Amino acid sequence: MAELKYYLIRRVITFLPTVVGMLFLVFLVSHIVPGDPARLWAGPEKAVKPEVLEKIRRQYYLDKPWYVAFCYYMRDVFTGNWGKSPVTNRKIIDDIKTYFPATAELAIVSELLIIAVGVPFGIVSALKRDSIIDHVARVFSLIGTSLPIFLTAIFFQYVFYFKLRLVPLGGRGVKPEVVRTGLYILDSLLCGDWHALLENLKTIILPALALSMLGMGIVTRITRSSMLDALGSDFVDYAKMKGLPNRWVIYRHALKNALVPVVTVLGLQFGGLLSGAVITETVFARPGVGRYAVQAAYSLDYPAIIGVTLLIGLVYIFANLVVDILYAWIDPRVRL
Amino acid sequence: MKEKLARGLNRMLDLMGYGEKWREWKRKRRAMFEEWELMYKALKRSPLAKAGAAMAVVFFILGIFGPQILALINGLYSLLYSQGIIKQKIVLDPYKIFAGPRLGKPSLLHPFGCDEYGRDLFARVLTGARVSLIVSVVVISLGIPPGILLGLVSGYYGGKVDEFIMRVTDVFLAFPALVLAMAIAASLGAGLKSAIIALTIVWWPSYVRLVRGQVLSARENVYVEAARAIGVSNLRIMVKHILPNIISPVIVLATLDFGTVVILNAALSFIGLGAQPPTPEWGRIVYDGLDYLMMAPWYSIIPGTAVFLTALGFNLLGDGLRDVLDPRIRRSIEFASGRE
């Protein structure tokens, strides 16, 4: 396991420049724009007093050279000083803290759904190649990758809420008795509040399903092709020749190797889930950072938009770090 | 029919004095033409790819000739009105308010229904095709070439240049495309132009990665070494020798991306950062219809379906092209059709 340790250290060292690069990109987009950036940070009001603009310039270091401003900006990001909304006059970081758990919960449930549906579907369609199931999986993944999230979300909402009344319209669900993590499903499980658990599951199922359609399609396809690759390789033939039972060959040997690329795709999908959450949350009126960003976009609340961008960027590269570590743990070749 | 056309073309070129040049050029490029013919044959054999190509063509036609089609339908309506076959005078216009009943149901005269201002949704969705078409064509044609160029340079030269280009690319890829596009569009001020610029800026990095990976394996080929040995310049090797050999996956990805751009542009407008009202844009129409989902579900679902069908068409076509552009699969089709 010594190599794993070195790999981890190496990976974390290369992780830091990516974070700085990402921050620089956000800085570039938000501080160096054509026209007057201070006007953007000042919010939707048409006529802003010159002294207010001057104050904003000082607050976001727009009066300093860009390299100085960037250093201050990095310090502010890490100390949680993400600016203040000109619309609501609240601190962006507080808003994000309030709204983030709803988005995190949605993304995690969707990711679990993707794994639970995509991987088995892909395995079965690889094992029963050219059967009905394989064709269904192919059509399913094609439709999944072509469906815009807003259409899926609206369609689900129309059928399951307006027509069948099976689930609530949307929203955040029921607050459990004790809130510890902010993830309502987990909290209601922890404190044994079964009523809240049921309600929260009902609330989240539609947005999560709508959000995960794309990922399910992609993961099904990747699992199928990498499983087919693995089944056609020499080590599988060898295992069969040794006389191992078929089930053993498939699940112990082929599947383990086939899952390596699937893990990468699952990590990349997480970013898709975060940006898809922007739309899903808007359709289902779920108070997460996505809906917050859309409201900010409609009310021209610029600091809030940049705050959400920063947050999603940070979460996404962190998720990719986790995936890389998982990857090294599954596949010994990566560590070297 | 085909021969007649070919003969006509030859005759025309002869008259213009280019006949000999053209035939010479064609003789030189014979292999290329044969390959294209094979691709076309292979594409024709796959029903899914054919369906995708048909959907893509319909999208292009509606995007280019949308207003003319609308004028044609309007002409028909006024003819029917003057003959007394329909009772009310109807003009389909994407901007005209109170052209029909508020949130009117889809009917013969308003095939997709009407929105809350009584604007005809059929006209709006049809005109929306042009906005989507413009965005996707501009983003694809401006976003891909820099990606290919950087990928070529990065893969061919390697070393520090490669390291630098790839780190910059990684930073761009550290964002989900929609989120970065959202931030850029917000910085530039909401509007169609900002949406196009934002999508173009986020589009090139995935091509750098793809092309670089392909170049890394292609540059080890003997023909590259041979070209270098006879003193061909680096630029010429990259563009004339390596690029044609690695272009197929790029074409496939670009085809698939056509659909993705349409979806992402609709998503940007849905968020409120794309084309501004009253411009008919699919994503924005979907957003506007959300408030009336219970009373008028068609309001949101029809433009959403337009986005879906467009994306599906390009996905089917891209999948088909993937098979066709792979020489191994193409050869097997060739054998099956009994050539050689």
| B321 inside domain | yes
CATH number for A167:
1.10.3720.10
| A61 inside domain | no
A72 touches chain B (CB under 8 A): no
**Which of A 136-165 lie inside 8 A of B, CB atoms?**
142-143, 145-151, 154-155, 157-158, 162
CATH number for B313:
1.10.3720.10
**Chain A partners within 8 Å of B167 (Cβ):** 17, 21
A interface test, pick of B165, B178, B264 with most A CB neighbours within 10 Å: B178
pLDDT tens by residue, chain A, 336 residues: 567 788 888 888 888 888 888 889 988 888 877 777 777 777 777 777 888 888 888 877 778 888 888 888 888 888 888 888 887 888 889 988 889 999 999 999 999 999 999 999 999 998 888 888 888 888 888 888 889 999 999 999 888 888 888 888 777 877 777 777 778 888 888 887 788 888 888 888 899 999 998 889 889 989 998 888 888 888 888 888 888 888 888 888 888 888 888 888 888 888 788 888 989 998 888 898 999 998 888 888 888 888 899 899 888 888 888 888 887 777 777 665
B187 closest CB neighbour out of A30, A158, A320: A30
Name B120's bridge partners. Answer: B114
Q: Check the CA dihedral A309-A312-A315-A318 and report its sign.
A: negative
Structural domain of B244: 121-336
* Cis ω before B303 (30° cut-off from 0): no
**Chain B partners within 8 Å of A308 (Cβ):** 179
Buried b (16+ CB within 10 A) or exposed e, B143-153: bbeebbbbbbb
| A32 inside domain | no
Tokens 């779920």, residue located: A286
State pTM to two decimals: 0.87
A279 closest CB neighbour out of B170, B174, B267: B267
Q: How far is CA A222 from CA A119, A214, A264, B251, B258, in A?
A: 9, 13, 10, 20, 21
> Which residues, 6 or more positions from B133, have their beta carbon under 8 angstroms from its beta carbon?
B59, B60, B63, B64
B308 closest CB neighbour out of A29, A34, A147: A147
CB contact under 8 A, A154 and B171: no
> Which residues, 6 or more positions from A54, have their beta carbon under 8 angstroms from its beta carbon?
none
| A36 inside domain | no
| B155 inside domain | yes
B186 touches chain A (CB under 8 A): yes
**Contact yes or no for B266/B339 (Cβ under 8 A):** no
CB contact under 8 A, A148 and B307: yes
CB contact under 8 A, B267 and A297: no
| A25 inside domain | no
pLDDT tens by residue, chain B, 340 residues: 778 888 888 888 888 878 788 888 878 888 777 777 777 777 777 788 889 999 999 999 999 998 899 889 888 888 888 888 877 777 788 888 777 778 878 887 788 888 888 888 888 999 999 999 999 999 999 999 999 999 999 999 988 998 889 888 988 888 888 889 988 988 888 889 999 999 999 999 989 999 998 898 888 889 888 998 998 998 999 888 888 888 888 988 999 999 999 999 999 999 888 888 888 899 999 999 888 888 888 888 999 999 999 999 999 998 888 877 776 666 665 555 544 4
How close is the nearest chain B Cα to the Cα of A185, in Å? 26
CB contact under 8 A, A297 and B270: no
ipTM: 0.87
Domain count, chain B: 1
Domain count, chain A: 1
Structural domain of A329: 92-335
Which helix H or strand E contains B35, and what residues bound it? helix B30-45
| A205 inside domain | yes
| B30 inside domain | no
| A18 inside domain | no
As a dihedral over the C-alpha atoms of residue A180, residue A186, residue A192, residue A197, rounded to 10 degrees, the angle is 120
| B170 inside domain | yes
